[in-house]
Amino acid sequence: MRFDVKKFVFMAIKDIKNAFFEKAQEKGIIDFIFPGPDTKEVPEDIEACALAIKNLRSLSVTEQLELDDHSQADEISHKIISTKHHLEQLSEKERLLELEISRTEVFGDFSAEDIEYISKETGKKFHFFCAKQDLFEEETLPEDLMYLDSGHGLDYFFSINEKTKEYKNMIEMKVPIPVNMTKNSLRKVRLEKEEVENTFKSFQKYNKFLHEALREKLNAYALFFCAK
């Protein structure tokens, strides 16, 4: 006799697996088909949906948007992933700019164009240096070195010479742009980051929808794979 059957994918936590199989055995109406050892790679759309859900975990729970068309899941997932990546890039830019400000703030604001012009007209070389704090406490400071300030356990200096010159126990610091320009760049990055953060937070309303779409995708994939 031929009976019509239906295929299902069972998903549950590991702790109740044994109890589930015992109950199923008692009923005797389920034929389990287990995937073979040569499991294929998970499709890209399933990976993207799972990653999008993972990215949303850091956000506070908000009212969920009810959607029935799971075909939208791929587009939404990729938007979430790309927005999260953009946010991470901006965070890294912010971190690097903050480090650069901390490194060069002691030299203050100056005009890079003016220094370049003066150097070109006079032939003088302008250099920034740092050294361990109190290096010259018991030594005479070279005449061509100007003390600027101290911070982070270091003393900072500025020199103007006919040619590039090195000083014992001192490190030359490259300051390509003045700190005011770096601070301006930081302000722009923070404004952009705030906008991207707001966009990213708006995706939280798709959390439930993406879970439903992922369940459907996994179900379809597993049934197709097990049927082969």
- Tell me: pLDDT of 49 over 70: yes
Q: Tell me what the pLDDT averaged over the chain comes to.
A: 85
pLDDT single digits (tens) 18-31: 888 888 888 777 77
Top-ranked range on mean pLDDT: pick from 16-30, 38-52, 165-179, 195-209: 195-209
User: What angle, 0 to 180 degrees and rounded to 10, lies between the N-to-C axes of helices 73-104 and 179-202?
Assistant: 160
Say what the pLDDT of residue 165 is: 83
Instruction: Write the CA distances from 143 to 18, 43, 119, 146, 149, integer angstroms.
Output: 84, 69, 19, 8, 17
Residues 139-182 pLDDT 10s:
777 888 888 888 888 888 888 888 888 888 888 888 888 888 99
Q: Which of 37, 80, 62 is nearest to 214 (CA)?
A: 80
pLDDT at 168: 84
DSSP string, 114-173: HHHHHHHHH--EEEEEEEETTTTSSSPPPTTEEEEEEETTEEEEEEEESS----TTEEEE
Domain ranges of the chain: 44-100+185-227, 110-177
Q: Does residue 11 carry a pLDDT above 90?
A: no
Give tens-digit pLDDT for 83-142: 999 999 999 999 999 999 988 888 877 777 777 787 788 888 888 888 888 777 777 778
Stated pTM of the model: 0.70
Provide the pLDDT for residue 114: 76
Query: Residue 4 burial (CB < 10 Å; 0-12/13-18/19+)?
Result: exposed
